[in-house]
Structure 1
Amino acid sequence: MTELARTDAPAGEHDDRTGRAVPATLRRAAPALLAYTGTRLLGVVVLAIWAAATGKSWYTLLSGRWDAVWYSRIAEEGYGYTLRLPDGSVHSDLAFFPLLPWLERLVSALTPLDAAGAGLAVSWIASLFAAWGIFAIGDRLRGRRVGTALVVLWAVLPVGIVQSMAYSESLFTALAAWAVYALLTGRWVWAGSLAAAAGLTRPVGAAVIAAVWITAAASLLPAGRWRPAWRLAWRLVGRLVGRLAGREHRRMLLGVAVAPLGWLGYVVWVGVRTGSVTGYLDVQSGWRNGFDGGVAFARFTWDLLAGPGFAAGLAMLTGVALLIWVFIRCVRRRDPLPLLVYAGVVLALALTAKGYFGSKPRLLLPAFPILLPLAAALARLRTARAVLILGSVGLASAAYGAFWLTGTGPP
């Protein structure tokens, strides 16, 4: 493992060696990135063949449908478009966070690509950075084989084709993965900056902010002091002030302060633009979206179980139970706190959102830490057997992605 992955030095010491360590870390990640690239290329090739057989364009399917159209419109024209549907829904482009369309506009200004093509380019490049960050985390925690297995598992998820679309999932996952890695290696300013960028990408950027804040709080409290807060309150303030006096803790405080700026800045801007403190929530409500603690999702699942969609409802219920079980396994394995907080918040936000229930798998795509137990199990197998399993799953994922995207696709 590289020095960058092993060191537990303070944040300032990390930063001095980053320039020398990055090439070594990239070389170490190269096999995982090649495996990831091959898996995603397989998905695109299968999609191209499937699309040609159905008279569709693979390029349009990846760069010009659903959310991708909204992002490219924002990149070309700015915010201000609203679509009113016959059922009374009001779809405003303010629901979409701005970092991806900003990058689309930048790339299209610097290259011959239009906004849609720029979005696809950004997503493909970001997916490689996401894979690199995921590998770096798995490698640091469990070794190179686990890191490689973790990356390929993320690539072969049933909705992995979204990683190759002009959507914001790949960009967000790249920022989130490196923010979590920065937390694991004590780079607080980097963690806060990447969290701020993630907060400009998707609403679930709140998960990265939570990881920064809770990790900081846990590191400031003395070991063994997680007792009832009222017993510590009278001495905690003085202790924290003393700890923050050091250089490392000043950097921690800066990272904590920077982390929410992207997410909060956009939400406040939407509130000012709409003239309402709850402006962003109102926009989400217009899309029939928002958070209700999972009530609507539970009702949707129950309706499936009670009707002709019993099999789909049972599959959905099984999937949710499996996700919760795997997350509990991660907790019992005592995975690092940044991973647990980040994955837990992503799961909670995805499972408690109302509306667009078919998009749940896509919303869960950034929750890569829950794949760690499975990656560890695969890493214990012989290489040939692990390759056979992942290759078979990858082929099935490619076929499913092509079927899904040429049909209903991700809402």
Structure 2
Amino acid sequence: MTELEAPTTARAPRAATAGSASLRRAAPALLGYAAVRILCLLTLAVWSAARGKSAYTLLTARWDALWYTRVAELGYGYEVRLPNGDVHSNLAFFPLLPWLERLLHAVTPLSYADAGFVVSLLASLAAAWGISAVADHVYGGRYGRRAGVCAVLLWAALPVGIVQSMAYSESLFTALAAWSLYAVLTGRWVTAGLLASAAGLTRPVGLAVVAAVWVTGVLAFARERGGARTGARAGRARRALGLALAPLGTAGYVLWVGRRTGGGLFGYLDVQAGWRNGFDGGYAFARFVADKFTAFPSALAGLGLVVGVALLIRLYVVCVRQGQPVPLLVYTGVVLALALCASSYFGSKPRLLMPAFPVLFPLALTLARLRTRTSAPVVGAVVAVAAAYGAWWLNGSGPP
């Protein structure tokens, strides 16, 4: 073995060792996450049985899950024309989840719906691991590991956290986003770009991951031009490659849809318009909230919406004041903007906000600083509410 070969052959064992150490460090967070998800699924099963419904059907064969499995089974081209003239095309659904469903169906006896459920479960664990790693990296020191555990538990116990166990793309996207952000934070630019590209093939909000990679990378180049040339030429080349890779997923799918529909660059926007989805700066959402105050019962819901949005904005401001790293602030800001300022179906907004996990970090740090005997009852109460709400929600209006 030559001297030049030694570092290359040693990379795989070092990477495996680092991965094992990361997994061991995240083990409490993953065990806690699994416990929360099992509790929520058991609650859903009991609640659904009492109402004569199948919990598994609610998780795998309703709403968007049906659209994903149809893409996996039959490909693109299916659409529904509504009486009011709207056209719901399956081109609105990005392809990575259906691709994985098709792959798993091809190599196992699982149906497409079963495959979607398995992908979601595995992706949710990967997302929990990624969230834990990011929080641990951000806070480090005395509270890093505990903050990672608390962040994961809070994410698992979101009111609409049951979506993490559905055959939806939120878990897959969050996993890719979290690990892409972690790669940026640790200087692994090519990995960050590849994961950002995959996130861009999962959901339209993949733009948030691309923006985080690009803004952080451009700032790094700007600092080097300003005199802080700390990176070697190879390091700068890897960063440039990561930036080039990041937008390929989103751009590739949007351009393909445009070519397929004949709409060019705006073809995908036309598809979304058929679903009454668009970006209006939050006007439609503000009008929706305002309409809630026209009668007393609905006014309570309107007040809850106002409080919820104010809390999100407040948490984001705290993230800024705490000095969260630039990629997290950019990513979270774009996710919040796209969710709150879109004219999409308003019942979707809670789950569209779910990937914005860094807004939970200030709360996670607060819990991490408390003694376990103080924080455990708080987390337990939040989990209990989330389990009950998720079961009630899915057996009621459910996620669109």
**TM-score when normalising by structure 2:** 0.93
Say if 1:77 and 1:250 are closer, same or farther in 2 by CA, change over 3 A.
Answer: same
- What is residue 230 of structure 1 aligned with on the other side? none
Q: Does 1:390 align with 2:390?
A: no
What is the SS of the residue equivalent to 1:221? Answer: helix
Q: Does 1:64 align with 2:61?
A: yes
Equivalent positions of 1:294-333 (< 5 A) are: 294-308=282-296, 309-333=298-322
* Whole-angstrom CA distance in 2 between matches of 1:81 and 1:170: 25
C-alpha distance after superposition, 1:236-294 (max 9, x if no partner): 6xx79x99971101000000000000000000000000001211000000000111111
* Whole-angstrom CA distance in 1 between matches of 2:30 and 2:397: 30
* Whole-angstrom CA distance in 2 between matches of 1:34 and 1:116: 26
Aligned length: 384
Structure 1's consecutive aligned runs of 4 or more residues displaced over 6 angstroms after TM superposition are 13-16, 242-245
What is the SS of the residue equivalent to 1:290? Answer: coil
Tell me if the contact between 1:14 and 1:187 (Cα under 8 Å) persists in the aligned partners.
no
* Whole-angstrom CA distance in 2 between matches of 1:296 and 1:392: 34
- What is residue 4 of structure 2 aligned with on the other side? none
- What fraction of aligned residue pairs are identical, expressed as a percent? 62
What is the SS of the residue equivalent to 1:83? Answer: strand
The code of the aligned residue for 2:373 comes to A
- What is residue 103 of structure 1 aligned with on the other side? 100
Q: Does 1:129 align with 2:126?
A: yes
Q: Does 1:410 align with 2:372?
A: no
What is the SS of the residue equivalent to 1:100? Answer: helix
- What is residue 26 of structure 2 aligned with on the other side? 29
Give the CA deviation at 1:71: 0.1
- What is residue 45 of structure 2 aligned with on the other side? 48
Give the CA deviation at 1:140: 1.3
Could you tell me which of 248, 251, 257 is aligned with 2:244? Answer: 257
C-alpha distance after superposition, 1:334-388 (max 9, x if no partner): 1000110001100000001102101110000000000000000001111122121
* Whole-angstrom CA distance in 1 between matches of 2:308 and 2:160: 14
What is the SS of the residue equivalent to 1:91? Answer: strand
Which has the larger displacement, 209-218 or 307-316? 307-316
The code of the aligned residue for 1:261 comes to L
Q: Does 1:75 align with 2:63?
A: no
Give the CA deviation at 1:126: 0.2
The code of the aligned residue for 2:302 comes to G
Equivalent positions of 1:228-243 (< 5 A) are: none
Give the CA deviation at 1:173: 0.1
C-alpha distance after superposition, 1:163-186 (max 9, x if no partner): 000000000000000000000000
Say if 1:381 and 1:64 are closer, same or farther in 2 by CA, change over 3 A.
Answer: same
- What is residue 205 of structure 1 aligned with on the other side? 206
* Whole-angstrom CA distance in 1 between matches of 2:218 and 2:13: 25
- What is residue 346 of structure 1 aligned with on the other side? 335
* Whole-angstrom CA distance in 2 between matches of 1:341 and 1:156: 24
Question: Where does structure 2 lack aligned partners over 5 or more consecutive residues?
Answer: 1-9
C-alpha distance after superposition, 1:313-335 (max 9, x if no partner): 11101111110111011001110
Say if 1:15 and 1:265 are closer, same or farther in 2 by CA, change over 3 A.
Answer: farther
* Whole-angstrom CA distance in 1 between matches of 2:295 and 2:259: 45
* Whole-angstrom CA distance in 1 between matches of 2:12 and 2:323: 27
Could you tell me which of 356, 371, 380 is aligned with 2:345? Answer: 356
Query: What is the root-mean-square deviation of aligned Cα atoms in Å?
Result: 1.6
Tell me if the contact between 1:192 and 1:259 (Cα under 8 Å) persists in the aligned partners.
yes
Tell me if the contact between 1:244 and 1:250 (Cα under 8 Å) persists in the aligned partners.
no
C-alpha distance after superposition, 1:285-320 (max 9, x if no partner): 000011111111111111112334111111101111
C-alpha distance after superposition, 1:46-85 (max 9, x if no partner): 0000000000001100000000000000000000100011
Which has the larger displacement, 304-313 or 197-206? 304-313
Q: Does 1:269 align with 2:256?
A: yes
- What is residue 334 of structure 1 aligned with on the other side? 323
Q: Does 1:291 align with 2:284?
A: no
Tell me if the contact between 1:97 and 1:203 (Cα under 8 Å) persists in the aligned partners.
yes
The code of the aligned residue for 2:239 comes to M
Could you tell me which of 88, 102, 116 is aligned with 1:119? Answer: 116
Tell me if the contact between 1:243 and 1:249 (Cα under 8 Å) persists in the aligned partners.
no
* Whole-angstrom CA distance in 2 between matches of 1:145 and 1:243: 32
The code of the aligned residue for 2:370 comes to L
Tell me if the contact between 1:63 and 1:119 (Cα under 8 Å) persists in the aligned partners.
yes
- What is residue 169 of structure 2 aligned with on the other side? 168
**TM-score when normalising by structure 1:** 0.91
Tell me if the contact between 1:195 and 1:259 (Cα under 8 Å) persists in the aligned partners.
yes
- What is residue 7 of structure 2 aligned with on the other side? none
